[in-house]
Chains A and B, each alone.
Chain A
Amino acid sequence: MGSQAATDIMIRLDNVTKTFAGGTRPAVENLSLDVGRGEFVTLVGPSGCGKTTTLKMINRIIEPTSGRIFVDGRDALAVPAHELRRSIGYVIQQIGLFPHRTIAQNIATVPLLLNWDRARIDARVAELVEIVGLEPGMLTRYPSELSGGQQQRVGVARALAADPPVLLMDEPFGAVDPIVRKRLQQEFLNLQGRLEKTIVFVTHDIDEAVFMGTRTAILNVGGVLEQYDTPETILANPANAFVEDFLGGERGLKRLALRPVSQVGMKRGPVVDVSAGADEARRVMNEHSVDWLGLLDGDRLLGWVDGSQLDGGDLRLLEPRPFLVSLDSQSSLREALDAVVTSHARVAVVVDDGVYKGMLDLEAIAEEITE
Chain B
Amino acid sequence: MILAQETALFDWEWVGRNLDSIWERTLEHLALTGVALAVGIVIATGLSAVALRRPRSYTTITAATGLLYTIPSLAVFALVAPLVGIGTSTQRFITAEIALISYTLLILTRNIVTGINGVPAGVREAATGMGYRDGERVRQIELPLALPAVMAGIRIATVTVIGLVTVTALLGLGGLGFFILDGLRRSIIFPTEIVVGVALSVSLAALIDISLLGLGRVLTPWAQDRGT
- In the complex, residue of chain B having the shortest beta-carbon distance to the beta carbon of A110: B130
Residue on B with the closest CB to A95?
B122
Q: Within A131-182, which residues are at the interface with B (CB < 8 Å)?
A: 141-145, 155, 158-159, 168
Q: Are B131 and A96 in contact (CB under 8 A)?
A: no
Q: Is A92 an interface residue when CB atoms closer than 8 A count as contact?
A: yes
B220 within 8 A of A: yes
Chain A residue contacts of B120, Cβ below 8 A: 94, 96
**Which of B127, B136, B222 interacts with A96 by CB under 8 Å?**
B127
Contact B220 A98 (CB under 8 A): no
Q: Is the CB of A94 within 8 A of B222?
A: no
- Nearest A residue to B148, CB-CB: A100
Interface residue? B83 (CB, 8 A): no
Binds B, one of A42-50, A83-91, A254-262, A270-278: A83-91
Any B CB within 8 A of the CB of A97: yes
Q: Does B21 contact A (CB under 8 A)?
A: no
Q: With a CB–CB cut-off of 8 A, which chain A residues contact B16? A: none
State in angstroms the CA–CA spacing of A61 and B144 once bound together: 23
Picked from B129, B141, B221, the residue with its CB within 8 Å of the CB of A85 is B129
Q: With A96-B123, A99-B145, A100-B145 in contact, is A142–B130 under 8 Å at CB? A: no
A residues in contact with B125, CB < 8 Å: 61, 92, 94, 96
Q: How many residues of B contact A (CB 8 A)?
A: 24
A172–B86 CA distance with the chains assembled, in angstroms: 65
**B136 proximity list for chain A (CB < 8 A):** 113
Contact A82-B132, Cβ < 8 Å, known A142-B226, A144-B222: yes
Beta-carbon contact of A97 and B123 below 8 Å: yes
| Contact present for B141 and A83 (CB under 8 Å) | no
CB-CB contacts below 8 Å: A171-198 with B: none
Smallest CB gap from B224: residue in A: A142
CB contact between B129 and one of A59, A141, A144 (< 8 Å): that residue: A59
A85 touches B131 (CB 8 A): yes
In angstroms, Cα B129 to Cα A114, docked, is: 14
Which residues of the partner chain B approach A95 to less than 8 Å between Cβ atoms? 122, 126
Residue from B126, B132, B220, B221 within 8 A of A92 (CB atoms): B126
Q: A87 CB to closest chain B CB, in angstroms?
A: 8
Residues of A within 8 A of B144 (CB): 100
Asked if B7 is at the interface (CB within 8 A of a chain A CB), the reply is: no
Asked whether A145 and B127 contact (CB < 8 A) given A94-B120, A96-B122, A100-B145, the answer is no
- With both beta carbons as reference points, the residue of chain A lying nearest to B147 in the complex is identified as A100
Q: Report A-chain residues with C-beta under 8 Å of the C-beta of B124.
A: 96
Q: Which residues of B contact A86 (CB under 8 A)?
A: 130-131
Q: Nearest CB to that of A102 among chain B residues? A: B222
Task: Give Cα distance in the complex from A135 to B44, angstroms.
Answer: 44
Q: Which residues in A have some Cβ–Cβ distance to B below 8 Å?
A: 59, 61, 82-86, 90, 92-101, 109-110, 113, 141-145, 155, 158-159, 168
Q: B residues bordering A, Cβ < 8 Å?
A: 120-133, 136, 141, 144-145, 220-223, 226, 228
Q: List 17 A-B contacts (CB under 8 A).
A: A85-B130, A86-B131, A90-B130, A92-B129, A94-B120, A94-B126, A95-B122, A95-B126, A98-B123, A99-B222, A100-B220, A100-B222, A110-B130, A113-B130, A145-B226, A145-B228, A159-B130
Chain A to chain B: the 5 pairs with minimum beta-carbon distance, closest first: A94-B122, A96-B126, A86-B131, A90-B129, A96-B122
